[in-house]
Every structure is written in C-alpha cells, then in structure tokens.
C-alpha cells in the first residue's frame, strides 16, 4: 500500500497538476506541498477540504481505500475527468457551454405528443 504522502501525490497527478498548482488549490506554500508528499508533514482539515473540492478522493488519501463509485455512466465519468483536468478559465467556459446546451434541450419530462 502507498504511504499517505504517496497517495496525495497520486491524487495530484490524477488531476494533472504540478506541486505548485496543487499547493495553490490546497491553500498552502509549495514547500508545504512537497513536505506533504514526502510524508514530512501532515495536512490539516482545511487543506483536505480544499483538495476534495478540486476532485481528490480524500477517503483514499486518509485510508488507502477508494470512495465508492458514484452511480454514473462511463460517459459521465469521462466528462468529470476532462473537467478536472482543465484550468479555471476552461472550467468556467465549460460550465457556460453546458448550461446553454441544457437550457436549449427539450424538456426530458414533457410528454411526446
């Protein structure tokens, strides 16, 4: 089983972020991020909450056991993975495009006449 720090590193890489970028996501200095990944320091709850919001599996980081998979299709999972790999500007654009498509789509609940 990977160590705590190795699991943080694995989750960071899953998101396609550098240590500097991931440190920013977690609200810590880059040297602190390095120390987390080396196992020299342990992150606090605020850091874990922030990286969870970015898409990290905090249960996995803490225990080595993955969170149960959500009930979503493989297409939905791929959308989520692509979204998480985007920078902030691209995410905002994707949200706008997704909202526009959703609003222009016929109502799923309307009766076919």
Q: What is the mean pLDDT of each run of 10 residues along the chain (113 residues)?
A: 95 94 97 98 97 92 85 80 87 91 76 50
Picking from 46, 33, 24, the residue whose alpha carbon sits closest to that of residue 5 is: 33
Query: 17-25: which pairs have CB atoms within 8 A and are 24 or more residues apart?
Result: 22/51, 25/50, 25/51, 25/54
List helix spans (H) across the chain.
4-14, 19-26, 30-38, 45-53, 58-63, 74-85, 88-104
| Residue pair 48/58 in contact by the 8 Å Cβ criterion | yes
What digits encode the pLDDT tens for the residues 102-112?
898 777 655 55
Which residue ranges make up each domain of the chain? 4-63, 74-103
**pTM of the predicted model, to two decimals?**
0.63
Considering the segment(s) 4-63 as one domain, its CATH architecture is: Orthogonal Bundle (1.10)
């Amino acid at each position: 089983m990977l160590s705590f720090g190795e699991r943080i590193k694995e989750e960071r890489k899953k998101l396609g972020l550098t240590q500097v970028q991931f440190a920013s996501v977690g609200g810590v200095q880059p040297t602190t991020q390095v120390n987390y990944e080396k196992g020299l320091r342990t992150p606090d709850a605020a850091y874990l909450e922030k990286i969870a919001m970015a898409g990290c599996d905090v249960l996995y980081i803490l225990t080595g056991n993955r969170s149960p998979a959500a009930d979503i299709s493989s297409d939905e999972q791929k959308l989520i993975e692509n979204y998480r790999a985007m920078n902030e500007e691209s995410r905002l654009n994707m949200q706008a495009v997704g909202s526009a498509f959703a609003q222009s789509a016929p109502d799923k609940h309307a009766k076919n006449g």
